Amino acid sequence: AWIDGAGLLQIGPQSAGSDPGPVCYGLGNDQPTVTDANLLLGRINADRPIGGKLDRLDVEAARAAIQRVIAEPLGIDVMDAAEAIIQVANARMAGAIRIVSIERGHDPAKFAAMPFGGGGALHIGALIREVGLNTGLVPRYPGVTSALGCVIADMRHDTVRTVNLPLAQLDEAQLRAWIDDLYAASSARIASGSETFDQLEEAIEADMLYAGQTHTVQVQLGGRDALTRDGLAAAFADAYRMQIGAPLEGIPVRLVNLRLAVIARRDKLDLRVMAPVDGLTAEAARTGTRDIYADGQWQQAGIYDRLALGVGEHIAGPALLEQADTTIYIDPGLVGDVDEFGNLRIERAG
């Protein structure tokens, strides 16, 4: 966080990253970050750093940095400065969501946002309120969601062959030979890993256009039976009609690229295995309270052991749900419910 030449509070684009990290890490950074602001506001437990690699987060160092860099130049209280940092960060995230929703004609109220990573769940409530999202869906282990995706996702290797020839000049036998070569390269890459798969699937696509055009149309070819001049022409006409409009009669068609994806399917993971089996009631999972600064005033938030909460348990904000890989902040006026998969659904109260 910093103050620009016009006296306005800015967030980024520079970042402290994980090394040296926020001021509160005590690893040499002296410029306040969003994490420092969340810590000072009471939303992060100083005695329970995410990941457990630090003994304690330095609240006073975070306070001093925010006071020096933000509060004093703006002439405001340090707590209001910390909240302003969060508000600007939330506004930036909300703006990014609007670009891919409202500005494309989508109603945010019909969508849920899934925050992941160690810090995302601290901001989901603000995004629900600012963007008008229907729901925030916090996965069971937000801090390792990307890693989990890598473990359970299908293995896939994509290769491409540049052709750049008119359809009339294509050698159909050569087309099939190119696909054979691409398949051999992709399947060998998948086989070089530590897993063994009984069966591989393939998906063939082509980038095509009319002569004189500069933008290609992506054409799904399905199986190898479409690897003929007539098959390519028919598939291109269908794709062009769907993506752009009526096909152009009498203009030669070019095959620019030939693409092959080789896919090894993994067994699907039933996410319900992550749900708590013998979860506690909300009251039993409550570990205490903490004063937090929100909406310009101090408020008392309940603290909960998130992973101990049973399916169906209900938490009203303001509340903080702590676990090893993240902290979830339920804003005042919002509620959280544990679903059958162990996710926490955050919505507006009432």
DSSP three-state, residue 137: strand
184/247 same-domain check: yes
What residue ranges of the chain have pLDDT lower than 70? Answer: 51-52
- CB 68 within 8 Å of CB 341: no
CA 231/CA 209 separation, integer angstroms: 15
Does any domain span residue 147?
Answer: no
Report the chain's terminal Cα–Cα distance, integer Å: 35
Dihedral sign for Cα atoms in the order 164, 168, 172, 173 = negative
**Domain boundary, last residue among 232, 264, 296:** 264
The answer to whether residue 258 is domain-embedded is yes
Q: Specify if 146 maps to a domain.
A: no
Same domain as 201, residue 52: no
Instruction: Collapse the DSSP code of 257 into the 3-class scheme (helix H, G, I; strand E, B; otherwise coil) and give the result.
Output: strand
Q: What is the CATH number of the domain that holds 171?
A: 3.30.1490
Query: Do 56 and 119 fall within a single domain?
Result: no
For residue 249, being part of any structural domain is answered with yes
Asked if 135 and 277 sit in the same domain, the reply is yes
pLDDT at 308: 96
**Residue 264, phi-psi category: left (phi > 0), alpha (psi -120 to 50), beta (remainder):** beta
Q: What pairing do the DSSP bridges indicate for beta strands 319-323 and 297-305? A: parallel
Residue 70 lies in a domain: yes
In a domain, 149, yes or no: no
Last residue of a domain, one of 264, 287, 305: 264
**What confidence tens digit (pLDDT) does each residue in 72-103 have?**
999 999 999 999 999 999 999 999 999 988 88
Residues 228, 247: Cα–Cα separation, whole Å: 19
Domain tally for the chain?
Answer: 3
Do 290 and 310 share a structural domain? Answer: yes
Give the CB-side neighbour count of residue 204, counting CA atoms within 13 A: 21
Residue 48 per-residue DSSP state? S
Phi-psi category of 12—alpha, beta or left, where left has phi over 0 and alpha has psi -120 to 50? Answer: left
Query: Which pLDDT does position 318 carry in this prediction?
Result: 97
| Residue 334 belongs to a domain | yes
Q: How far apart are CA 223 and CA 333, in angstroms?
A: 53
Q: Within this chain, do residues 159 and 259 fall inside the same structural domain, yes or no? A: yes
Give me the domain span that covers residue 68.
Answer: 2-93
Based on the fold, state whether residues 277 and 250 are members of the same structural domain.
Answer: no
155-199 pLDDT tens trace: 999 999 999 999 999 999 999 999 999 999 999 999 998 888 888
Beta-ladder partners of 298: 293
Tell me which of 244, 264, 284 is where a domain ends: 264
The predicted structure's pLDDT at residue 223? 86
The whole-model pTM stands at 0.79
135-138 and 112-113 beta bridge pairing: parallel
